[in-house]
Amino acid sequence: MDEKSQTSNQTRTSAIVVIRQDERHTSGLRGEYNALHGRNMKKARSSGNDYEAFLRRIRAMGPDDRTTYITASRVLLPQVLVHELRAAEDLATAMYVLGAHVWSEPAGEFEGLEILRTAASLGSAEATRSLGDALNWIGLYEESVPILEAALRSDPGDPRLHGLLGLSLYELHLEKEAQPHLRIGLRVDSSLAIPLAHVRRGVGDEAEYQKLILEAVQSQVYGAHVLAGNLLAEQGDKDHAADLYRQGITSGDAHSAYNLACLLYEGGKLDEARDKFQLAREMGDLRLSPFERSES
C-alpha cells in the first residue's frame, strides 16, 4: 500500500453503489448513491446499516448474479471477492472481508476503516485486530489503543498485537505502559528495538539503549544506522560512525546523509561536507547546513 496520511476532517459515507449492467437501472441507482453519499459520517458510523444492507443483499443473490459493485470511495469489488462475501460463514466475517479489501485499495483507506469498525461491532475478532493495526499504521494511536487492548483480550499471546499496542502507547508518551508490550513484540518485529531503546534511555539505561540499537543495525532496521552512528560519534569513533552513516544513506535515510555531512564539516572536509549536505536535502532532510547558517 502507498503511504497513508491522517485526515482530521475527512467525511465519508458508508454507502455502497450498486451498478447493474442493465442500463435501465442506472439512473435510479445513481440517485440512491447521491443520496447516500451526502449522509454525515457520524450518522453512518452510528448505525453501519448501509453496509449491512449491502452485504445482506449480495449474500441473498444467486450465483448467476452479474451485478457490478462499487463502493462510495469508488473501489470496484471483483467478482472473486463478491463470491467470497457470499460464501462467508456469517455477516461479521463478510463485513471483515469487505473492509480488508477496501482498506487495501489506495482510494479506500478511510472507507475501509469504517467497514472494519462495523465488522468489529458485529463481533469479528479478525476485524478488531485489523482495525487496530490500520489505526496504528496511519497514526491514530489514541483510537488504536482500546481496540488493540480488546484484540489482546481475545488473543493474549499474540506478540504482534503486543508490539502494535506498545508502539501506540509509546507514541502517546506512555513509555512505562509501552515497555512490556514492546519487549514481547520485539520477538517478531525487530523494528521495535528502536522505540524500546528510547524508552530505556529515558530511564537512564544507556547500556541497553546501545545494545538494542546495535541489534537493530544487525537486523537492518531502517533508521538504526543513524542512531548507531551518533553513538559512535559521541564516543569519538568517527571513522566507524561515518561508515554507519553511509550504510544509512544506502538504506534511503536522509538524516544519515545530514549527520555524515556534519561529521565531515567538523573534520574540516568542507567540499565533501557540502556535497553531503546537498545530498541530504535531495533525500528529504531540509535542515539548514552550517554553510547556509553562516550566510544568513
Q: Grid coordinates in use for 25? A: 437501472
CB-based contact 121:101 (threshold 8 Å):
no
Where in the chain are the domains? 1-123, 136-207, 222-296
- Can you name the CATH fold of 222-296? 1.25.40
Residue 61 has a pLDDT of: 87
Q: Name the least confident of 54-63, 201-210, 263-272, 281-290.
A: 54-63
The residues, any chain, with a CB within 8 Å of residue 39's CB and separated by 6 or more, are: 13, 14, 15, 50
CB-based contact 216:191 (threshold 8 Å):
yes
Q: Is the dihedral of CA 19, 33, 6, 171 positive or negative?
A: negative
Average pLDDT over residues 261-283: 97
pTM value is: 0.74
Q: Looking at this protein, which amino acid is placed at residue 270?
A: L
Residue-wise pLDDT tens digits, 148-173: 999 999 899 999 999 999 999 999 99
Angle between helices 141-154 and 159-171 (to 10 degrees): 150
13 vs 223: CA distance, rounded Å: 38
82 vs 57: CA distance, rounded Å: 11
Residue-wise pLDDT tens digits, 55-112: 998 899 888 888 888 888 889 899 999 999 999 999 999 999 999 999 999 988 999 9
| Neighbour tally for 120: CB within 10 Å | 24
Q: What is the DSSP string of 196-207?
A: HHHHHHHTT-HH
Q: What share of the chain is helix, strand, coil (3-state, %, to 5)?
A: 70, 5, 30
Give me the residues paired with residue 18 across strands. 69
Residue 23 has a pLDDT of: 33
15 vs 33: CA distance, rounded Å: 7
- CA 107 vs. chain centroid, Å, equals 15
CATH code reported for the domain at 136-207: 1.25.40.10
CB-based contact 100:108 (threshold 8 Å):
no
Decide if 136-207 and 222-296 have a common fold.
Answer: yes
- What 3-state DSSP class applies to 169? helix
- CA 33 vs. chain centroid, Å, equals 30
CB-based contact 212:179 (threshold 8 Å):
no
Residue-wise pLDDT tens digits, 184-201: 999 999 999 999 999 999
Q: Looking at this protein, which amino acid is placed at residue 134?
A: A
